[in-house]
Structure 1
């Protein structure tokens, strides 16, 4: 837990742009909220590698959203179930399922469909909100925290120096 928090703070205090970090968190929504072994996750991983996304934020966000997914899975299942049972969308689902390409995505599963739709809806708000939070943190809170006496004491300790060396090795 402390390791995850330390990595998060190191990420926020690093040199990566807020846009790259926020995109990493937003793409992590898909990988974290949806079942991992899915075709759409391969596409997300490809996009993460092609687009300039902070990989640390992506992997950290994936771990956090995976933990959150255990809590919200019943909600995702109900979203997917309501979409699949909607009579107005029956022809869409039938047409997609008759195509081999769309059948490979397995959108006929309630959990997968509900979590992909939820992650798609939350993608843009996640980019915007996380970018604002990172910018505000860097402009105001980071400078204030570095001025605190306890922060100076922690950075001067042998434990912190050993931790920094371990961070450089990984």
Structure 2
């Protein structure tokens, strides 16, 4: 886990496009908030691999959102129940239930439906917010850390040179 956090910090401090990191976090939100064994998570994993988003961000985000999902399960249950029992949507759900894909993905389960709708609704706003936060982090916090006397002193040491050569952070990631 410490290695994953270190990889995320490495990615945040690198020249990686913020959109790749944001997309990884949003896809991890969909995969993490919904139950693990749902087939739509295979589609999310395929998107992660095809779109070449940052894998460290995805894995760490998945772990984070999976932990958050347990706290939000009552909300997902209420949302899913409201969606699945809405009188205007009864015909739609009946028709979809008669397809094997709908039953295979367990979308008739209130928690699965509620968590999927919740994560899809937050996908685009999350993409914008994560992108903004990453850019702000790089502009303000990272720039401040690089200017501190402690970091300047650390960069002047032989230990930092060895650290850069071993970690592969050449190019001034810190």
Could you say which TM-score interval applies, normalised by the shorter chain? 0.7 to 0.9
Measured at CA, do residues 164 and 114 of structure 1 come closer, stay the same or move farther in structure 2, by a change above 3 Å? farther
Aligned residue number for residue 66 of structure 2: 66
- TM-score, normalization: structure 2? 0.85
- TM-score, normalization: structure 1? 0.87
Measured at CA, do residues 35 and 157 of structure 1 come closer, stay the same or move farther in structure 2, by a change above 3 Å? farther
Superposed CA deviations along residues 30-63 of structure 1, whole A, max 9, x for unmatched, are 1110111111001111111111311111111111
109-118 or 10-19: which moved more? 10-19
Contact 2:106–2:112 under 8 Å retained in 1: yes
C-alpha RMSD of matched pairs (Å) = 2.3
18-27 or 44-53: which moved more? 44-53
Aligned residue number for residue 144 of structure 1: 144
Q: Figure out how many residues of one structure are paired with residues of the other and give that number.
A: 167
Structure with the bigger percentage of helix = 1
Q: Which runs of 5+ in 1 are unaligned?
A: none
* Cα distance in 2, alignment partners of residues 164 and 77 from structure 1: 50
Aligned residue number for residue 30 of structure 1: 30
Matched, 1:82 2:82: yes
Q: Which runs of 5+ in 2 are unaligned?
A: 169-174
4-13 or 107-116: which moved more? 4-13
